[in-house]
Amino acid sequence: SLPLLQAARKRNSLDLLELSEAELEEQFVRGDGPGGQATNKTNNCVVLKHIPSGIVVKCHQTRSVEKNRKIAREILQEKVDLFYKGEDSDVFKEKKASEKQKQEKKRRAKENLERKKLFKEMQQLDKE
């Protein structure tokens, strides 16, 4: 189920499982990464744990604790949805659809490149 959890954080999912605050354990810790003194002195990184499933999310995307709390809850909700629904989850289906679109786009780009090469070769033959 680990690859499923990596599909989380896709925006347009509507039919997600609801989380109750009683099932959540929240901590505020110092973030890591670049930022120097601003990062080293403030506890604005949110660590959110869903107790029944054991899923932990760490969010330090902004300097605001409130925004990080909101983002962490969104990410956790999507991961919990994936955990319980698996391949039936909207998040998983959305991820699969976007992968398919990406592959199709790559295929079309490759075809266009081949056509351009063929066209240039034809032009070279016409010049000779």
| Least confident piece of the model among 16-20, 27-31, 46-50, 73-77 | 16-20
Q: Does residue 53 have a pLDDT over 70?
A: yes
Q: What is the mean pLDDT of residues 60-78?
A: 91
Q: Locate the domains of the chain by residue range.
A: 18-86, 89-127
Contact 35, 43 (CB under 8 A): no
Over residues 88-115, the mean pLDDT reads 90
**pLDDT score of 90:** 79
- Backbone φ and ψ of 108, nearest 5°: -65, -40
How high is the mean pLDDT of the chain? 84
Round to whole Å and give the CA distance between 37 and 3: 35
pLDDT band at 9 (very low <50, low <70, confident <90, very high): low
Q: Work out the number of other CB atoms within 10 angstroms of the CB of residue 73.
A: 18
CATH code at 18-86 = 3.30.160.20
- Residue of 14 and 46 predicted with greater confidence: 46
Return the percentage of the chain with pLDDT > 90, whole number. 41
Q: What is the per-residue pLDDT for 15?
A: 67
Q: Find out whether 90 and 9 touch, Cβ atoms under 8 Å.
A: no
Average pLDDT over every residue of 85-102:
85
Helices 65-85 + 90-127 axis angle, to 10: 90
